[in-house]
Amino acid sequence: MQKRVEAALEKIRPSLQADGGDVELVEVTSDGIVKLKLTGSCAGCPMRQMTLQMGIGRALKKEIPEIKEVVAV
């Protein structure tokens, strides 16, 4: 599943990079939890939690239904 998550993140990444941020895949657990690290301007943004849950999380779950949760580390 890790390669599928990485491929999905590549589709999302240009939007984050356009605002000076990025996302780094830390881990995909066997029980379907994806751990991400927001970097660049996303790391300190007050909207980072919304970006993670409503933007990145929603897109990943849509593409990979096996994902149970997306969390920031």
Cα 43 to its chain centre, rounded Å, is 12
Give every CB contact of residue 5 below 8 A, 6+ residues apart in sequence. 25, 28, 34, 60, 64, 67
Render each residue's pLDDT in the chain as its tens digit; 73 residues.
Answer: 999 999 999 999 999 999 899 999 999 999 999 999 999 998 888 989 999 999 999 999 999 999 999 999 9
Cross-strand partners of 28: 34
Q: Which domain holds residue 17?
A: 2-72
Q: Which residue type occupies 6?
A: E
CATH number of the domain residue 46 falls in: 3.30.300.130
Which pLDDT value is given to residue 45?
A: 87
Which pLDDT value is given to residue 52?
A: 92
Q: How far apart are CA 16 and CA 21, in angstroms?
A: 5
Which pLDDT value is given to residue 11?
A: 95
Domain total in the chain: 1
pTM score of the predicted model: 0.90
User: Which burial class, exposed, middle or buried, applies to 42 when counting CB atoms under 10 A from its CB (0-12, 13-18, 19+)?
Assistant: buried
